[in-house]
Amino acid sequence: MTFTNEASRNLEKALQALEQAKQRVANEKKKQNEKKQNEKKRKAVNHHKYIMGGIIVKYFPDCYQYDEDELKRFIRFRSLGEDFTEENLKKVIAGEKESPEKNEKVPERKEAKPEKRKFDLVVDIREKMAKGKNGGYVRWAKKYNVKQFAESILFLQQHDIHDKETLDALVDGSAARYHELMKIIKDAETKMAENKVLKTHIINYSKTRDTYIAY
């Protein structure tokens, strides 16, 4: 009887220890999950702040200002070298000293010579024959040259061109118009790229806004 009671007590202690161990494991898992959730929220909030800061600095610079204490905390000109100390920068602004950038020697770059391209409206048949072109190519080249001559004469008649000066003026006007259109296209492409970046920021902001508010 005594042996049975002792075995029962040992079994009860073992079960109690097992329950305590399970409880400790459950508590540890709960802590780990809470830690992961907090870390996830923290990253989401930081990402949200980063996105909002980037949008404000890029598109609303007048609304993003630091006070004097914040400027002293973030900007460290002395870490850039002696030329960027406060005293030297004041002298540069006052015109008493040259800018550090001007003191740096810029390596000379050799300008690449533009490649001269040969431009002909007609085919040089003799040159092509010297390179080994056959009779079939020669017949095609003769027909092609006749068409080119006809199109050139038609173009001169349509634009009332009777001298070289008029032709040069037309070419200059067309070139100026071409460069103007290219500038418009490049400006539009730049604007589209900026809008694409802004769209990305807005999408990221909308994804993290709820997390930021909840946090």
Please, what is the end-to-end C-alpha distance for the chain in angstroms?
Answer: 61
- What pLDDT does 181 receive? 94
Model confidence band, residue 180 (pLDDT cutoffs 50, 70, 90): very high
pLDDT at 57 over 60: no
pLDDT at 84 over 60: yes
pLDDT at 13 over 70: yes
- What pLDDT does 184 receive? 94
- What pLDDT does 135 receive? 83
Residues 6+ apart with CB under 8 A from 100: 81, 83, 84, 88, 92
- Determine what percent of the chain is predicted with pLDDT higher than 70: 65
Check residues 94 and 162 and name the one with the higher pLDDT. Answer: 162
- What pLDDT does 52 receive? 55
- What pLDDT does 166 receive? 87
> What does residue 134 show for φ and ψ, rounded to 5 degrees?
-90, -175
Q: Report CA torsion sign: 67, 68, 74, 80.
A: positive
Greatest Cα pair distance, the chain, in angstroms, is 133
- What pLDDT does 63 receive? 46
- What pLDDT does 189 receive? 93
The overall average pLDDT reported for the chain is: 75
Q: Which amino acid is at 14?
A: A
pLDDT tens track for 140-157: 988 888 888 888 888 888
Model confidence band, residue 122 (pLDDT cutoffs 50, 70, 90): confident
Model confidence band, residue 60 (pLDDT cutoffs 50, 70, 90): very low
Model confidence band, residue 53 (pLDDT cutoffs 50, 70, 90): low
> What does residue 73 show for φ and ψ, rounded to 5 degrees?
-75, -35
pLDDT at 185 over 90: yes
